[in-house]
Amino acid sequence: MSTVSMAVDLGGIKMRNPLNTASGTFGNGWQFEGFYDVGATLGAITCKGLAAEPWAGNPAPRLAELRGAAIMNSVGLQNPGVRGFVETYGEYLQGLRDKGCQVICQVAGHSVEEYVRATELYEELAPFASGFEINISCPNIAKGGAAMGATPEGAAEVMRAVRDRTERPILVKMAPHDVAEIGRALESAGADALSLINTIPGMTIDVHTRKSRLSRPTAGVSGPAIHAIAVRMVWECAQAVAIPLCGIGGVATGEDAAEMILAGATAVSIGTANMVDPSCAPRILAELEDWAESQGVNDINELIGAFEC
């Protein structure tokens, strides 16, 4: 057992440790119960993005593997809508809360109105939600998603509209560009914390057919290959805002998580690694605790942003 206090506060979401999961890579938690006790292990989980109404998601193929420790996905936020989600998983997710694991519910939409509607539905139906993550950075949907978060003005407009609808903490999932400028706009608009980065838009072409290997021309790159880019963006954003950050991007080891924390992240999400090694979270947590202890601190918070340049 670690002697270092691992508890962190992600914009009002009190986590027993900094480990969170990246939305879309962790189902809604229950899929991992055969691998470890989710509620007893993680600081928080972030559920799959949900809209007010169900979305079918993109056609197949949605996944390609790249050389160089990366994958590309084009899922397009397939989801059963907030109501279907709460009916199916609400009891399980309340159980996670009861075990001390926070449950962050992700909000998706094609327009400001749709983000607002989904948030209102969560407010009405999801008492287990510890807070919300507004996804304005999905690269795989035609309307909304990344388009909403492409500019500081667009991002802030969504944030302000949702802010009026809930007292619970709001995180915003950011696209991998202009994170300092957009981060400042989101902070001013009332965000409690920021999650970054979403997948990086990329292309993969089957040269024999001259077509995309996925159902859309571009899709999101994730995995260990993007880790260094994510750490840099967390560092840039941390210097621009005062609100806490959740670092996401290619985290597969305790050392990767430690880099995020040193760069300025309060919490760290595991994404693609959940698909590759579904039992990785307890190992990453143990490695992170060992590292914190090796740094001679009593509290992990002393290491947030402790990068020395």
Q: What is the DSSP letter of 59?
A: P
C-beta of residue 12 within 8 angstroms of C-beta of residue 169 = yes
Shortest Cβ 252–another protein spacing (Å): 8
Of residues 90 and 305, the one with the C-beta less far from another protein: 90
Check residue 26 for interaction with another protein (CB under 8 A): yes
Q: Give the footprint of another protein on residues 79-118 (CB under 8 A).
A: 88-89, 91-92
Of residues 35 and 307, the one with the C-beta less far from another protein: 35
Of residues 136 and 281, the one with the C-beta less far from another protein: 281
Q: What angle do CA 76, 207, 275 make, to 5 degrees?
A: 40
Site string for another protein, 35-54 (x = CB under 8 A): x------------x-----x
Check residue 274 for interaction with another protein (CB under 8 A): yes
Shortest Cβ 139–another protein spacing (Å): 15
| Tokens found for residue 13 | 């979401």
Q: What angle do CA 116, 117, 120 make, to 5 degrees?
A: 85
Check residue 24 for interaction with another protein (CB under 8 A): yes
Shortest Cβ 180–another protein spacing (Å): 30
Q: Give the footprint of another protein on residues 205-244 (CB under 8 A).
A: 223-224
Q: Which of 2, 14, 30, 163 binds another protein (CB under 8 A)?
A: 30
Shortest Cβ 187–another protein spacing (Å): 31
Of residues 119 and 274, the one with the C-beta less far from another protein: 274
- Nearest 10 degrees: Cα torsion 127, 28, 40, 21: -110
Q: Which of 65, 124, 153, 255 binds another protein (CB under 8 A)?
A: 65
- Can you give 159-184 as a three-state secondary structure string? HHHHHCCCCCCEEEECCCCCHHHHHH
* Torsional class of 191: left (φ above 0), alpha (ψ -120 to 50), beta (otherwise): beta
Check residue 282 for interaction with another protein (CB under 8 A): no
Specify whether 101 is catalytic: no
Q: 75 CB contacts (<8 Å, ≥6 apart)?
A: 24, 57, 58, 62, 140
Closest CA to 43 of 305, 265, 205: 265
Check residue 203 for interaction with another protein (CB under 8 A): no
C-beta of residue 179 within 8 angstroms of C-beta of residue 236 = yes
Of residues 31 and 239, the one with the C-beta less far from another protein: 31
> Catalytic one among 47, 138, 237, 280?
138
Check residue 169 for interaction with another protein (CB under 8 A): no
Of residues 25 and 41, the one with the C-beta less far from another protein: 25
Check residue 61 for interaction with another protein (CB under 8 A): yes
Provide the strand spans (E) within 117-210.
Answer: 131-135, 170-173, 193-196, 200-202, 205-206
| Tokens found for residue 258 | 């430690």
Q: How many CB atoms lie within 10 A of CB 29?
A: 22
Q: What is the DSSP letter of 203?
A: -
Shortest Cβ 34–another protein spacing (Å): 4
- Gap between the Cα atoms of 282 and 264, Å rounded: 22
Which residues carry out catalysis? 138
Residues binding another protein (CB under 8 A): 24-27, 30-35, 48, 54, 56-65, 67-71, 73, 75, 78, 88-89, 91-92, 223-224, 272, 274-279
